[in-house]
Amino acid sequence: MLQELFSPSVQHVLDLVGIFVFAISGALLAVRKNFDVFGMAVLAEVTALGGGLFRDLIIGAVPPAAFSDLGYFVTPLLATVLVFFLHPQVERIQLGVNVFDAAGLGLFAVTGTAKAYDYGLGLTASATLGLATAVGGGVLRDVLANEVPSLLRWDRDLYAVPAIVGAAMVALCIRFDVLNPYTSGLAAVTAFGLRLAALRFHWRAPRAWHRSSVSVEAPDQAG
């Protein structure tokens, strides 16, 4: 099914673009944490490949694409080199990085869901792995950097919800046999648009009803 949505060459290019942008976000966090170049490379690799690696191991697609395609491994290293030398300039175009990151989020949610279904998972499980593909690398990045994952923080703009919407749209399209390049593109664009809107308007998920805790944590808009 995944092969029906994108040609192998187009899929490969889209994957590398998403991997590159996710790797930049990992390397930038390493710079903010004052990690050395090895730490930057580790965070870049984990952020870019962690979600897809988790998905492939769960569905039995071994060896995972991250290990069978040299380009997948080298691309985060190129992002590391870029950030190592030009991190002040990259920080200044953070808005542009966020836009590409949102595009990668939507793309990986769609392709992750479709690939999981290709390997025999049900619709709910496929959508769940689509979400994991899109956000798993960021969770691993934050854990390695000794931070509460952005996915769990109330003071971060919506990130998982757009991916959930995109993955759910793909699952519904599969259910009604209407998944094609156009509907899958619509799902990716919807997730992309929701993420950009969340960044623009600072949309956040609600906290517990009638929450009485007075604990405060300074909002961090970097993520």
Summarize pLDDT for 162-172 with one digit per residue, the tens: 999 999 999 99
| Helices 70-92 & 8-32 angle (0-180, nearest 10) | 50
> What confidence score (pLDDT) does residue 4 get?
67
**What is the residue-wise DSSP string for 107-124?**
HHHHHHHHHHHHTT--HH
Both tokens assigned to 168: 């759910």
User: CA dist 84 to 27, 36, 70, 75, Å?
Assistant: 8, 9, 21, 14
For the chain, residues with pLDDT lower than 70 are 1-6, 212-223
Q: In a 10 Å sphere around its CB, with 0-12 CB exposed, 13-18 middle and 19+ buried, how is residue 36 labelled?
A: exposed
pLDDT at 222: 42
Predicted TM-score (pTM) of this structure? 0.86
Which residues lie below 8 Å from residue 220, measured CB to CB, with a gap of 6+? 153, 155, 156
* Per-residue pLDDT, 48: 95
How far is residue 160's CA from residue 54's CA, in Å, rounded to a whole number? 16
Q: Residue 95: its pLDDT value, please? A: 79
The tokens describing 29, both together, are 């966090």
pLDDT at 223: 42
Q: Does residue 210 come out as left (phi exceeding 0), alpha (psi in the -120 to 50 range) or beta?
A: left
